[in-house]
Amino acid sequence: MNKALTSLNTFFLILLFLSLIFSMFSIPKLNIDETQSIKVNFYELIQEDDILFDSSILNTTIKKETKKASVNDKKAEPSEAEILSKFKINKSDIKNEISKIKLSKEREDILRVSAIIQASISSIWIKPNSLSESLIAKVSINLAPSGEILNFDLIEPSSNNSFNESILTAMNKMTFLEEVSFLDRKLFEENFRNFNLVFKSSGEIE
């Protein structure tokens, strides 16, 4: 009887051992290449964490936090409109600045041409040597846009005839003041169409 039980137990052990070996060899081998990608479905994970990854909730939360921060920052920082107002450029200010630049340029041209005209006439003016008094005479000059001297006149002569004659002699030698031909026409008409020169016995011309 004992031998029969021992034989039966041995049979079952052998059968269990064989089934175990068979099950091991029956498992399919999973071959994965190094470059092969494995697809994993995260649908269940997304479903479980739907609240955590809900974009609408996330955006709403961000907007609320941003709104709170903006409300707090308004007390400490100026608004965008206030910042822009500081850098706003007024058109009238621009026009004023352009006008100033233009006037400055025009004044520079007037002074430059006037100095050239005075130097040109002074270079040919020979004043009398025997002048013991301070004399002044004023000459009116009429020019063409080309710089041609159309007419001149001694409108305020001095008390010394020699001095007056020296001025007229110098003016008769001048035919052109070509420096004015390079000026803007409006600038010429306003300043050099008709202008006066003051001759002084010291030799200065203004």
* SS3 call for 53: coil
CATH pick for 95-200 out of 3.10.450.40, 3.10.20.30, 1.10.730.10, 3.30.1150.10? 3.30.1150.10
Contact criterion met (CB below 8 Å) for 187 and 109: yes
User: CB under 8 Å to 160, separation ≥6 — which residues?
Assistant: 128, 131, 133, 135, 201
Per-residue pLDDT, averaged over 122-126, amounts to 94
**Per-residue confidence (pLDDT) for residue 16, from 0 to 100:** 74
- Each residue's pLDDT tens digit, 160-175: 999 999 999 999 999 9
Q: 3-state SS string over 66-113?
A: HHHHHHHHHHHCCCHHHHHHHCCCCHHHHHHHHHHHHHHHHHHHHHHH
- Which tokens belong to 21? 């070996």
What is the pLDDT confidence band of residue 60, given thresholds at 50, 70 and 90? low
Contact criterion met (CB below 8 Å) for 135 and 198: no
pLDDT above 70 covers what percent of the chain? 55
C-alpha 66/C-alpha 21 separation (Å) is 65
- Which tokens belong to 100? 């100033």
- Given a cut of 50, whether residue 44 has pLDDT beyond it is no
52 versus 128: the higher-pLDDT residue is 128
Q: Which residues of 148-157 are buried (b: 16+ CB within 10 A; e: fewer)?
A: eeeebebeeb
C-alpha 173/C-alpha 157 separation (Å) is 19
**Per-residue confidence (pLDDT) for residue 129, from 0 to 100:** 84
The residues spanned by each domain of the chain are 95-200
DSSP 113-146: HHHHHHHHHHHH----S---S--EEEEEEEE-TT
Whole-structure pTM value: 0.51
